[in-house]
Structure 1
Amino acid sequence: MRESPENRRERLRQQELKNNKASNIGDGFNRAQAGALQDLVGALGWKGTGILIIVLIVGFIVYSILFN
């Protein structure tokens, strides 16, 4: 049975965290403070990420037009 890309990504991330204990403290603190982009993108998938990028671009354009 093939595992999904999300599951594989999470499994590899967990292995890396287990193997690299020294950087876990800083990574955990930073992730708890601001969240992690790979977690957001992994949860959304490629369609959700594309929609998020389009919304950000359109929002920037609208903001530029209204406040210039």
Structure 2
Amino acid sequence: MSENKETPERRRERLRQEELKKNPTGNMNDAFNRANSGSLVDLVGSLGWKGTGILILVIIIGFIVASFFFK
């Protein structure tokens, strides 16, 4: 008898992931606002892999530009 009962934590995470898939641009705004009171894990988790990649590229480009201007 295997019961497929979903724990509240798993249900919350599943609903959050479904919402992220439905509204990616609104969630990006939420992610940046959440970063003020949350952690980096919350920011990256809500951005998804594409948003995280863009964020990493922006940081790398920022370092390159800063090192070019402030030698």
TM-score, normalised to structure 1, is 0.51
Residue in 2 that maps onto 1:7: 13
- Give percent identity, aligned residues only: 62
- Unaligned 5+ segments in structure 2 are 1-11, 17-35
Q: Which runs of 4+ in 1 moved over 4 A?
A: none
Distance of 2:69 and 2:37 partners within structure 1: 29
1:41 and 2:48 matched? no
Determine which of 22, 26, 51 is the counterpart of 2:54: 51
Q: CA deviation at 1:35?
A: 2.3
Distance of 2:38 and 2:67 partners within structure 1: 28
Residue in 2 that maps onto 1:67: 70
Q: CA deviation at 1:7?
A: 2.1
Q: Give the letter aligned to residue 7 of structure 1.
A: E
| Structure 2 counterpart SS, 1:48 | helix
Name the count of aligned residue pairs: 40
Q: CA RMSD in A?
A: 2.3
TM-score, normalised to structure 2, is 0.49
Distance of 1:35 and 1:67 partners within structure 2: 31
